Amino acid sequence: MLMRASALILSQLLAVAAGAETIVVKADRYLDVVAGRHVSPAVVVVEGGRIAAVNPAVLPDGARVVELPGHTLLPGLMDAHVHLNYELAEGWETEPVRFTTGDFALRGVPNARQTLLAGFTTVRDVGTGYGFADVALMHAIDRGWVPGPRVIPAGHALSTTGGHCDITGFAPGIEPPHYLSGVADGVDAVLKAVRYQVKHGAKVIKICATAGVLSFEGPVGAQQYSDAELRAAAEETHRHGLRIAAHAHGTEGIIAASRAGIDSIEHNSIMTEEAARVLKQNGTFVVPNLYLIEAIDVSTLPPALAAKQTFLIPRVSESFRRSLAHGLKVAFGTDAGVFPHGLNAKEFTARVHYGDTPLHAIRSATLVTAELFGTPDRGRIEPGLLADLIAVAGDPLTDIRLLEDVRFVMKGGVIYKQR
Ligand SMILES: [Zn+2]
């Protein structure tokens, strides 16, 4: 294990040291996610961390050639909903009052590595970065201290007092609610909470619009933030040029968040026909988590939480099918952290199981999520874009499970995995 880790770091250092090195990646085909078809062969020239050319007539002199026979190249995958500093492990309920920011940040290190090696080159970390542990992790990755995906961190998720993203279950006086840690009631406090997260490095804002599963407050779908508070959060976030994601299970909260101008509805568990029409009209993205249905072992949860999850399970898949039927913009998000990091691609298999096509699922994790992130520099294999590439052995359009076994990962022109 140690040897493998140091080999990885060494190869990374070598790659970084190589810097200006030109790399030619050759595979049998690449998936043109825009056209929705394979292109054969695939010869991708990488220079200075970007894609310089695709299937050029002449190859550059002196380039290092990487041969991937039998493989399909795809753009690096994206996950809009992870919690790198979090794990649903023994004692998770009391971690917020036992762990330091350092504990949370360091826990994120192996999780970030696992996520990258699974083929996910950009992730959005939505709000368990206590003490800005997620921002620290982003910095460590960007500085080359540790391997990991490009991270879009939320800092602390915004929550009403006693709401889903507050820390509850403790005696009064322990972790008192404060806008600095995202707990904000009323428009003024919401504005301060957004500004404080942005000040300290948040690149997205997460707001908990409704009650949730893994928290001890009331009915799972109940709206927690008022319409006015949601609108204030959305407007303030957009003033900073950032996107805002709302955790929302229940119908009223989903509709309220969309009408408030929130960019994406996370979970989107109980979306009625009416709610789907509102989201379609407003162009709101949805980020469903289908693998989560089987990934959470309900029997291990406290009884009150198990009851919430059991109630939601059939509604989640029904809402997902409705998203497909209405042609909503379905971004790709997994809630990794609630299940082990690095298993993010199981969401592809789950999606196809619940009625999606492999191509639509892959577009979700590339094109659509890049649109949600506002990052047009990735999500496709085209000259000028970031050299974030992965490869699988075979054709993922005929076997979606191949994405669970990514053989090659490049981020910014640096090879992190080659098998
Ligand atoms: Zn989550």
Task: Kindly state whether residues 107 and 244 are assigned to the same domain.
Answer: yes
Task: Kindly state whether residues 151 and 267 are assigned to the same domain.
Answer: yes
What is the Å distance from ligand 1's center to 93 Cα?
Answer: 15
Task: Kindly state whether residues 110 and 51 are assigned to the same domain.
Answer: no
Q: How far apart are CA 155 and CA 89, in angstroms?
A: 21
pTM: 0.94
Q: Which residues are CB-neighbours of 407 under 8 A, at least 6 positions away?
A: 68, 71, 391, 392, 393, 417, 418, 419
What is the Å distance from ligand 1's center to 378 Cα?
Answer: 24
CA 371 to chain centre: 13
Residue 84 contacts residue 153 (beta carbons within 8 Å): no
Calculated CA dihedral for residues 203, 209, 213, 214, nearest 10 degrees: 50
3-state class of 17 per DSSP? helix
What is the Å distance from ligand 1's center to 126 Cα?
Answer: 6
Task: Kindly state whether residues 37 and 83 are assigned to the same domain.
Answer: no
Nearest to 88, CA basis, from 343, 265, 286: 343
Q: Which residues are CB-neighbours of 95 under 8 A, at least 6 positions away?
A: none
Query: How would you classify residue 143: left for phi > 0, otherwise alpha for psi between -120 and 50, otherwise beta?
Result: alpha
Task: Kindly state whether residues 218 and 253 are assigned to the same domain.
Answer: yes
Q: How far apart are CA 261 and CA 267, in angstroms?
A: 17
The CATH number of whichever domain residue 34 belongs to comes to 2.30.40.10
3-state class of 227 per DSSP? helix
Q: How far apart are CA 97 and CA 296, in angstroms?
A: 24
Task: Kindly state whether residues 366 and 394 are assigned to the same domain.
Answer: no
Instruction: Give the residue ranges of the chain where pLDDT is below 70.
Output: 1-20
Backbone φ, ψ for residue 2 (5° rounding): -60, -45
Task: Kindly state whether residues 191 and 340 are assigned to the same domain.
Answer: yes
- Predicted confidence at residue 13, as pLDDT, reads 47
What is the Å distance from ligand 1's center to 210 Cα?
Answer: 13
Task: Kindly state whether residues 32 and 111 are assigned to the same domain.
Answer: no
Task: Kindly state whether residues 216 and 168 are assigned to the same domain.
Answer: yes
Quote the tokens at residue 212: 């949730």
Buried b (16+ CB within 10 A) or exposed e, 39-55: eeebbbbbbeebbbbbe
Burial of 286 (0-12, 13-18, 19+ CB in 10 A): buried
Domain count across the chain: 2
What is the Å distance from ligand 1's center to 64 Cα?
Answer: 40
Task: Kindly state whether residues 126 and 220 are assigned to the same domain.
Answer: yes
Task: Kindly state whether residues 179 and 155 are assigned to the same domain.
Answer: yes
What is the Å distance from ligand 1's center to 253 Cα?
Answer: 16
**Element (DSSP H or E) covering residue 115:** helix 101-117
What is the Å distance from ligand 1's center to 416 Cα?
Answer: 27
What is the Å distance from ligand 1's center to 141 Cα?
Answer: 21
What is the Å distance from ligand 1's center to 81 Cα?
Answer: 6
Over the stretch 112-149, which tens digit does the pLDDT of each residue have? 999 999 999 999 999 888 899 999 999 999 999 999 99
Neighbours of 176 (CB within 10 A): 11
> Which residues are registered as beta bridge partners of 26?
43, 67
Residue 324 contacts residue 330 (beta carbons within 8 Å): yes
Quote the tokens at residue 180: 């600095």
What is the Å distance from ligand 1's center to 134 Cα?
Answer: 14
Nearest to 208, CA basis, from 200, 195, 220, 196: 220
Q: How far apart are CA 190 and CA 144, in angstroms?
A: 34
What is the Å distance from ligand 1's center to 160 Cα?
Answer: 16
Which structural domain range is residue 302 located in?
A: 77-373
Over the stretch 273-325, which tens digit does the pLDDT of each residue have? 999 999 999 999 999 999 998 888 888 888 888 888 888 889 999 999 999 99
What is the Å distance from ligand 1's center to 154 Cα?
Answer: 11
What is the Å distance from ligand 1's center to 279 Cα?
Answer: 20
Report which DSSP code applies to 272.
Answer: -
The CATH number of whichever domain residue 128 belongs to comes to 3.20.20.140
Task: Kindly state whether residues 297 and 337 are assigned to the same domain.
Answer: yes
Dihedral angle sign, alpha carbons of residues 270, 163, 334, 242: positive
Buried b (16+ CB within 10 A) or exposed e, 194-221: bbbbbeebbbbbbbbbbbbbbbebeebb
- Predicted confidence at residue 20, as pLDDT, reads 66
What is the Å distance from ligand 1's center to 221 Cα?
Answer: 15
What is the Å distance from ligand 1's center to 164 Cα?
Answer: 11
